[in-house]
Amino acid sequence: MASLSTEQQQHTSPNLMGQNIPHSSQVPKAELPPSLLREESNSVAISFINVPTATVVADEFTVFTINVTERRTRSSAGALQEVERFGGDNWIVMKRYSSMRRFHQKIRKSFVHTRGPAPKGASTEEFSKPLPPFPPTKWFGNRAPKFVEQRREALNNYFTSLLMWTAVGETADLRMRLLREYLTFSDPEIAAHRMFRGVQHGPRQIPRSPQETKSTQEDGSGTTAWGVPSTFTSTV
């Protein structure tokens, strides 16, 4: 087979080039064009949430158990885009209604800009899915078995919708980070309660993305994006 001229080689598929033409994997990284450079990044995100049980603790409070499933992926971006799932975890946390309500109020305040129509020139994706409403408060009869089950189901639907809300908009990474922070720990008074001391609260290892770990190490604050510790203390 006749060899190709230099001009022909420049306009020929790499699969048809002669053996003397080096493949990109054999070329030093510094000599590769930007389109062929591959950037790797790791992603940690919650993929599933449900609220399977609710337990009334004597006359003290109601404990809602939340199952959390996390996925971890490694992606390479460049001339080729690859996504590889390389692990995950699942755990439970236990929360009180008052704690979850405060968390909802915090994110509602933080994302107040998404509660109205998209301003002219703004990304419509950020406003495409509204923050789901939180189950309403009930001051009397809130520990009756029938009502507790209704509230559990409403909270289950709320977290399902909230998980979908975290996946949209330019602030999707921040939304997921705030949700992960909240669902990493049980409420302190529940974890310390005699009924739940033998339970594994949260993941065995705190899930952090490389960017979060570096940020925490640099500022030494150990705080959330709101500037407060990752746990929210519940009060009646």
Q: Is residue 233 part of a domain?
A: no
Q: Is residue 197 part of a domain?
A: yes
Q: Is residue 222 part of a domain?
A: no
How confident is residue 115, by pLDDT bands cut at 50, 70 and 90? confident
Q: Which of 28-37, 162-171, 194-203, 221-230 has the lowest mean pLDDT?
A: 221-230
How confident is residue 220, by pLDDT bands cut at 50, 70 and 90? very low
> Is the pLDDT confidence value at 163 over 80?
yes
> Is the pLDDT confidence value at 33 over 90?
no
Q: What is the pLDDT of residues 41-79, one digit of tens each?
A: 566 789 999 999 999 998 789 999 999 999 877 665 554
58 or 115, higher pLDDT: 58
Q: What is the per-residue pLDDT for 58?
A: 83
Q: Is residue 230 part of a domain?
A: no
115 or 175, higher pLDDT: 175
> Is the pLDDT confidence value at 95 over 60?
yes
Alpha-carbon dihedral of residues 159, 161, 165, 166, nearest 10 degrees?
30
Q: What is the per-residue pLDDT for 123?
A: 73
Say if CB 174 and CB 225 are below 8 A apart: yes
Alpha-carbon dihedral of residues 137, 185, 73, 33, nearest 10 degrees?
100
Q: What is the per-residue pLDDT for 35?
A: 52
Question: What is the Cα–Cα distance from 79 to 141, expressed in whole angstroms?
Answer: 60
> Is the pLDDT confidence value at 225 over 60?
no
Q: Which of 140, 235, 221, 126 is nearest to 181 (CA)?
A: 221
> Is the pLDDT confidence value at 153 over 80?
yes
Measured CA distances, 184 to 110, 116, 206, 231, 236 (Å): 20, 30, 7, 8, 22
Q: What is the per-residue pLDDT for 28?
A: 57
Q: What is the pLDDT of residues 184-195, one digit of tens each?
A: 999 999 999 999
**Mean predicted lDDT score pLDDT of the chain:** 75
Q: What is the per-residue pLDDT for 97?
A: 97
Name the residue range of residue 71's domain: 39-202
Domains: count for the chain: 1
Say if CB 36 and CB 27 are below 8 A apart: no
Q: What is the per-residue pLDDT for 87?
A: 63
Question: What is the Cα–Cα distance from 96 to 35, expressed in whole angstroms?
Answer: 50
Q: Which of 104, 118, 226 is nearest to 161 (CA)?
A: 104
Q: Is residue 22 part of a domain?
A: no
87 or 133, higher pLDDT: 133
Q: Is residue 121 part of a domain?
A: yes
Q: Is residue 102 part of a domain?
A: yes
Q: Is residue 8 part of a domain?
A: no
Enter the pTM of the model.
0.66
Q: Which of 18-22, 89-93, 133-137 has the lowest mean pLDDT?
A: 18-22
Identify the CATH number of the domain in which residue 46 sits: 3.30.1520.10
